[in-house]
Amino acid sequence: MSQGSIQYKTETEIELLRESSLLVGKTLAEVAKILKPGVSTKTLDQLAETFIRDHFALPGFKGYGGFPATLCISINDEVVHGIPGNRIVQDGDIVSIDCGTYKNGYYGDSAYTFAVGEVKPEVKLLLQRTKESLYLAIEQAISGKRVGDIGFAVQNYCEQFGYGIVRDLVGHGVGKNLHEKPEIPNFGRRGTGAKLSEGMVIAIEPMITLGDYNVKQDSDGWTMRTIDGLPAAHFEHEVAIRKGKADVLSTFSYIEEVL
């Protein structure tokens, strides 16, 4: 069912979205097992694609808008949409991995930023606080709230540390399509924006920088990086709107068991 182009999901559809989302978490956990200094981003991508296909699903990103890979792998000052290739992961890197799956007609979408080896303390804090901001946003993802409440939660928390909140990239609805209405910015004013109600499923994904919030696109037409070259972190959950408490369809538990 749709209203104003927002697609409302049935309970059956939400369970299918949960299945796709859990597969994303399991895929990212498999990748985490081999994410060490010396591995190429292409190797990570190939592992993810094989794992997804072995679980009777398709990579959600590959071919989407012409994107050439299964994972978006973004390192250090790269915010999102990095294309896997011959780049070798180094000790001290932070590596954002965004993964999508398509199973039984529905998309799973989740992201996690990993610290590889010895990472600078201020960068480690950026990761920790970005993830904390995601959970603060999820607390607002309940029926009767508005999109602006989610964005405000992220912005209000992160700006107290002097971080930049990326404006040009936002979260989104998700379902039979990878990107649906409404857009879910990581900034905003309380009580503004589209009203949240049961049946909505959204991807909430804070993208937070250590410096300037402005980003630029690389010549590859995909990779987005910070304009000042400072690191950025990205965490994402797929969430169903409920009364009283959000229903988080994706999970980091598989990932964090192997870290």
**What is the 3 state secondary structure string of 55-100?**
CCCEECCCCHHHCCCCEEEEECCEEECCCCCCCECCCCCEEEEEEE
| pLDDT of 38 | 99
Task: Give me the domain span that covers residue 175.
Answer: 2-258
CA distance 70 to 223: 14
Cβ neighbours of residue 34 under 8 Å, at least 6 residues apart? 43, 44, 47
CB distance 120 to 224 below 8 Å? no
Q: What's the angle, vertex CA 61, arms to CA 258 and CA 169, rounded to 5?
A: 90
Q: Are 147 and 122 in contact (CB under 8 A)?
A: no
- The pLDDT score that the predictor gives to residue 259 is 96
Whether omega for the bond prior to residue 182 falls within 30 degrees of 0, making it cis, is yes
CB 42 within 8 A of CB 208: no
Pairwise CA distance, residues 16 & 21, whole Å: 9
Question: Residue 252 corresponds to which tokens in the numbers above?
Answer: 């980091």
The per-residue pLDDT for 138 is 99
- CA distances to 144, 160, 181, 243 from 100, rounded to whole Å, are 28, 31, 18, 27
The helix/strand/coil state of 70 is: coil
- pLDDT (0 to 100) of residue 2: 54
Give the residue ranges of the chain where pLDDT is below 50.
none
| Total tally of structural domains belonging to the chain | 1
CA distance 140 to 129: 17
Q: Give the type of residue at 118.
A: E
The DSSP letter of residue 107 is E
Provide φ and ψ at 165, rounded to 5°.
-105, 115
- The residue type found at 229 is G
Please state, in angstroms and rounded to a whole number, the distance separating the CA atoms of residues 182 and 170.
Answer: 10
153: domain CATH number is 3.90.230.10
Q: Which of 145, 138, 62, 148 is nearest to 107 (CA)?
A: 62
Q: Token digits for 250? A: 């994706």
